[in-house]
Structure 1
């Protein structure tokens, strides 16, 4: 849902759920997340920098138990061969909400040994640390039903600004934002509900 200042004809913020925030934060899992701290020194970051600082400032109480901020803030880059594509090896969170709970593909070494069984990979071209064979035997990872995967917890409403800054939504932050934008009359505010899918993002 968008909160619009009709007097100044501008969107103040979007009220968003877990799925959309997971999508925004997953952008940091791309190689861009590695370069943002470097670009920041040159003043070249813009809205992507706001996403970066949003996850840095977001309290751990809002994150899934298995999410480590360092995974997003300092992603490790892998060079893929063949049809692996580029990136950090972490799949971009899809805005296809209906299929967001589907299992993701993982790969293991085809050798059936106790040491090789200790490792899994996102990419089928990865090399097993134990035997140095290609890890191209497909297995499936299933998100726990209590979390549904992603980065942030469900059951929380978030604010997404027009510059992509993200923060948990509460009465205090709402009034702080209204004051920041110098909104004096609540009557000029209008709510607009929108459905956002992959076409809207692209």
Structure 2
């Protein structure tokens, strides 16, 4: 995150003392969505498929899933958070706690004695040309980085203000959405609404992370 604190503008019903929603900027929304980059995202997908309910984290997951690509940075891909590589090997037989180890780098070996083009993922394999063990580890060369289309970091765009509900539903801020929420909460008088700006420190953010991941 760019700063040690993030600011939230809360809309509060002064009669019920209930926070209707928070108006959040890019830094806050980036933090919430990046919670999904933890093995949490794998757990959510599996639990949603099997049980159909994983609490507020499901709302956060679906908020990013349903967020229009218009709001996503051009150099970002939602699937990086929604479908991390750990889920590619997930199955009903794999314990959930082992999923985070599924991305361990796989090694490949070649023969170190001849010019054979054969390779194997097992160092005990025998070279088809010289019949010796293929124990020479191959060196992986990464492709050149793709130039970023945007200098802005994070996953969502910063020119948009977002609204965050108490159940972790996140959506772009709009007048229609705000009016719909006021109707949902049966707010008849605008005069009872109060705005309050709060700064959330990194320590408090850590508590939020621990809370939503329980």
**Do they superpose with TM above 0.5?**
yes
Could you say which structure has the larger radius of gyration? Answer: 2
Indicate how the Cα distance of structure 1 residues 146 and 38 shifts in structure 2: closer, same or farther if over 3 A, else same. closer
Are 1:47 and 2:56 an aligned pair?
Answer: yes
Q: What are the ranges of 5 or more consecutive residues in structure 1 without an aligned counterpart?
A: 79-85, 90-130, 136-140
Count residues in correspondence.
151
**TM-score, length basis structure 2:** 0.63
Structure with greater proportional helix content: 2
For residues 141-196 of structure 1, give each alpha carbon's deviation from its aligned partner in whole angstroms, at most 9, with x where no partner exists.
9x959442111001100000011110000100000010011111111111000111
| CA distance in 1: counterparts of 2:101 and 2:15, whole angstroms | 43
Q: What are the ranges of 5 or more consecutive residues in structure 2 without an aligned counterpart?
A: 1-8, 88-99, 104-136, 208-214
- Displacement, 1:6? 1.1
**Partner of 1:67: helix, strand, or coil?**
coil
- Displacement, 1:69? 1.7
Q: 2:198 is matched with which residue? A: 194
**Please, what is the CA RMSD of the aligned residues?**
2.8
Q: 1:185 is matched with which residue? A: 189
Are 1:25 and 2:29 an aligned pair?
Answer: no
For residues 80-115 of structure 1, give each alpha carbon's deviation from its aligned partner in whole angstroms, at most 9, with x where no partner exists.
xxxxxx5898xxxxxxxxxxxxxxxxxxxxxxxxxx
| CA distance in 2: counterparts of 1:5 and 1:134, whole angstroms | 58
**TM-score, length basis structure 1:** 0.67
Q: 2:83 is matched with which residue? A: 74
